[in-house]
Amino acid sequence: MSTDYSAPSMADAKQIADWIVRYSWNDLGAPVDPMSLEKLIYYAQWLHLVLHDAPLFPDEILAWQKGPVVPSVWQHYSAFGWASIIPGDDEDASALPSGVESFLKQVVGFFGRYTAVLLSQATHLERPWADARDGVPPDRASGNVIAQMTMKRYYEDLTNDGETALSRHDLLGVTSEPRWSSLYVAGISARRMTKHPLYDAALAKKFAELLSPSPVLGEDFYAPPRDKELVEFPRGTDIDRIIAREH
């Protein structure tokens, strides 16, 4: 999934989060809440790793109980709780490079349609968060670091699986934009991640029909029975009586 995009000098997670907050409030009129914001910057990070082979920001992402979290971003916005974030006058209003802003608009446009709970559920069903939580007590809020390479490998494999499945059906030419979103959904569906919020049952069924064709019958399936399989009875034999006696 290569592009002509050239990654600019890297912003930190707080700058990325601030931009999403302002964009959601000012441009979309659909304010974002802290939990959703954390998931949006997580998805932006892995997507940037996959598309551009480089992180979007240098901050570590931790596998907290409710999903991936950048602690500095959470600390800054946690006071809003489950409420929508209202950008204040003290927010860093500096613009990001146009390529980054265009990229983030795609991320917010696609993932921003889902609630915080659904986004959290999605991350829980994907291996980077689940593996980082391995061995952590379920009731502990904090968690281990989700390594960038782990994220890149997992989501690259997932989207590649989606691309392969779509290719088998000659559907790559009709995928919706942004193209990466179609590959992501197709990968989830091809892997039959049925509990995932973005799972498409109809698409999964289509993939399964192609990947699981009817069994191939052997050449002798329609061949006449061999002589040793024939049982001959003299004319006038009461066959029903013989069958009843044998059973």
Task: Locate 154 and state its tokens.
Answer: 């997992």
Mean pLDDT of the chain: 85
**Do 118 and 43 touch, CB atoms closer than 8 A?**
no
Residue 198 CB partners (closer than 8 Å, separation 6+): 122, 184, 185, 188
Q: For residue 210, what pLDDT is reported?
A: 63
pLDDT in tens, 3-31: 444 445 679 999 999 999 999 999 999 99
**138 and 152 belong to one structural domain:** no
pLDDT in tens, 177-206: 899 999 999 999 999 999 999 999 999 999
**34 and 114 belong to one structural domain:** yes
**192 and 152 belong to one structural domain:** yes
Report in angstroms the alpha-carbon separations of 166 from 111, 162, 179, 192, 217. Answer: 21, 6, 12, 14, 28
Residues of the domain holding 103: 8-146
DSSP state of 145: B
Which of 125, 146, 167 terminates a domain? The answer is: 146
**14 and 61 belong to one structural domain:** yes
**85 and 15 belong to one structural domain:** yes
Is the residue at 121 inside a domain? Answer: yes
Total domains in the chain come to: 2
**42 and 84 belong to one structural domain:** yes
Q: For residue 4, what pLDDT is reported?
A: 42
**152 and 139 belong to one structural domain:** no
Is the residue at 44 inside a domain? Answer: yes
Q: For residue 34, what pLDDT is reported?
A: 97
| Cα angle 130, 133, 138; round to 5 | 110
**30 and 45 belong to one structural domain:** yes
**165 and 109 belong to one structural domain:** no
**Do 151 and 49 touch, CB atoms closer than 8 A?**
yes
pLDDT in tens, 229-244: 445 556 666 656 655 5
Is the residue at 86 inside a domain? Answer: yes
**187 and 206 belong to one structural domain:** yes
**87 and 184 belong to one structural domain:** no
**15 and 110 belong to one structural domain:** yes
**Do 87 and 80 touch, CB atoms closer than 8 A?**
no
CA atoms within 13 A on the CB side of 122: 21
Which of 131, 146, 161 terminates a domain? The answer is: 146
